[in-house]
Amino acid sequence: MLDARDGVGAVAIGGWTAFPDIGTPDADPYSKARVSRQGILALGRAEGLAFAATHDAGGQPLRRECSYRIEGIAPPARFWTLYAADSARNVIMANQRKTALHSLELLRRPDNSFSIAVSRKPAPGNWFGVPGAGPMRFVLTLYDTPVAGSTGVADMEMPTVVNVGCDA
């Protein structure tokens, strides 16, 4: 139950799941246990909200040997980060560097949408590398966001994770 990405306290939007109450006094016992067990710093409602995606838009588990395109528009936030994590929830490193992007370095289209390539091989535009093999997850953390303090979290739109191919 502590490893579940759905269930008590979870809000699922597309392929992304968050626990809006995890850093608040209203957190359910399972969320509190997750924070203790994983040693994570949970954000309070006024600080932000973290979403995790473990499957692509087709419902397939995310794998490091596959290439993905994360596209759409991020929910409103003063700042956000996106990174890849392994099954133990550790940030995946590539050549001693974290594999991540943040909202201030992102190239955007005129309509404010974006497309981010995630793969082993470099790609033009927004890209971060994910070396190795095995399961992974994407974590999108919204900081100073109005959606964290509202009850309309489930009504917002999240980026889509599209599988564009896997290595044999």
What is the DSSP code string of the chain?
Answer: -TT-SSSTT-EEETTEEE-TTTTSTT--HHHHHHHHHHT--PPPTTTEEEEEE-B-TTSPBPBTTEEEEEEE-PPS-SEEEEEEEETTSPBPEETTEE-EEETTS----TTS-EEEEEESS--SSEEEE--S-SBEEEEEEEES-GGGGSS-GGGS---EEEEEEE--
Give yes or no for a contact between 84 and 128, defined as CB atoms under 8 angstroms apart. yes
Q: Is the pLDDT of residue 149 over 60?
A: no
Hey, what's the torsion of the CAs at 96, 121, 14, 80, to 10 degrees? 40
CATH number for the 45-166 domain, one of 3.90.105.10, 2.60.120.600, 2.102.10.10, 3.40.1190.20?
Answer: 2.60.120.600
Question: Which pLDDT value is given to residue 8?
Answer: 58
Question: Judging by DSSP bridges, how do beta strands 126-129 and 79-86 pair with one another?
Answer: unpaired
Burial of residue 168 (CB within 10 Å: 0-12, 13-18, 19+) is exposed
pLDDT recorded at residue 2:
47
Tell me, what amino acid is at 127? Answer: W
C-alpha–C-alpha distance, residues 109 and 112, integer Å:
5
Give backbone dihedrals phi and psi of 54, rounded to 5 degrees, phi first: -115, -5
pLDDT of residue 59: 94
- Read off the pLDDT of residues 70-104 as tens digits, 9 standing for 90 and up: 999 988 888 999 999 988 878 888 776 667 889 99
Q: pTM here?
A: 0.82
Residue boundaries of the structural domains of the chain: 45-166
Tell me what pLDDT residue 155 has: 65
Does the pLDDT of residue 5 top 70, yes or no? no
